[in-house]
Amino acid sequence: MDEAKALICGARREEYGGVSESFEDIAKMWSTLFGIDIEAKQVALAMILLKVCREKRNHKHDNLVDIAGYAGLADYMAGPELKEVGIGPLVNTYIKGAPL
């Protein structure tokens, strides 16, 4: 969990920018591509499934770390009232309230 949290709030954030904006952009593009409404939280869930498919084929530590990270992000994007499960609350605490 700590490894996922560090990636979300550190290296990946520096590489790709804030997750909220990034996942909103991805959701808009997927909505256009597939002709259905897709929300940012669904992007995180789809990425979890992608990592599950990869892990099913071949175990790689990175897959499991990313699954934990995407789960935390899905929890974060579920709404302002973060649930008391997953790493969403830990991410929020880690970044001291800075928007993802």
Q: Compute the distance between CA of residue 89 and CA of residue 61 in angstroms, rounded to an integer.
A: 23
Closest alpha carbon to 100 in 15, 2, 21:
21
What predicted TM-score, i.e. pTM, was given to this entire model?
Answer: 0.69
Tens of pLDDT, residues 20-50: 888 899 999 999 999 999 998 899 999 999 9
Q: Report the pLDDT value the prediction gives residue 26, as an integer from 0 to 100.
A: 93
E strand residue ranges, 1-100: none
Token pair for residue 71?
């789960």
In the chain, the N- to C-terminal Cα span, in Å, equals 17
Please report, for residues 20, 56, 60, the alpha-carbon distance to residue 23 in angstroms, rounded to integers and kept in the order given. 5, 25, 24
Name the residue ranges covered by the structural domains of the chain: 2-94
Token pair for residue 82?
């973060």
